[in-house]
């Protein structure tokens, strides 16, 4: 059985039809794209070196040993600090979960931090 050929050329890491990342060759004789089901012969990968690296972001120290930032940048809102009662807090937002969920808002009191 002859596999269909693509009208595009690409690196063997990517599907020549849709551009998706291809799975690594395994014991099967063909590799199928998980998105469009385009098939490539494993023989096309013979003699190729596959390298991959994983880079992790550095974790910042948390807890009491962390020094607070000298100046809080960001907008101020009229909100009372639950600790010291100071009126006015700065805030920042971060996307903590998936993109289809709202951002998390972190409030910081400029007086007691």
Residue 23 in tokens: 């799975």
Instruction: Find out whether 110 and 86 touch, Cβ atoms under 8 Å.
Output: yes
Confirm or deny that 33 is annotated as ligand binding.
yes
- Let me know the angle formed at the C-alpha of 51 by 50 and 53, rounded to the nearest 5 degrees: 150
Q: Of how many residues is the chain composed? A: 113
Confirm or deny that 36 is annotated as ligand binding.
yes
Confirm or deny that 11 is annotated as ligand binding.
no
CA of 69: how far to CAs of 3, 63, 89, 110, in Å? 60, 14, 14, 10
Confirm or deny that 7 is annotated as ligand binding.
no
Confirm or deny that 81 is annotated as ligand binding.
yes
What residues form the annotated binding site for Zn(2+)?
15, 18, 33, 36, 81, 84, 109, 112
What residues form the annotated binding site?
15, 18, 33, 36, 81, 84, 109, 112
């Amino acid at each position: 059985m002859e596999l269909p050929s693509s009208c595009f050329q690409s690196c063997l890491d990517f599907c020549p039809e849709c551009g998706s990342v291809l799975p690594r060759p395994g014991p099967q004789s063909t590799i199928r794209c998980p998105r469009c089901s385009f098939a490539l012969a494993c023989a096309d990968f013979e003699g190729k070196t596959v390298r991959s690296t994983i880079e992790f972001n550095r974790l910042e120290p948390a807890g009491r040993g962390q020094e607070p930032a000298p100046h809080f940048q960001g907008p101020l809102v009229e909100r009372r600090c639950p600790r010291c009662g100071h009126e006015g807090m700065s805030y920042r937002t971060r996307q903590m979960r998936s993109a289809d969920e709202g951002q998390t808002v972190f409030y910081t009191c400029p007086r007691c931090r």
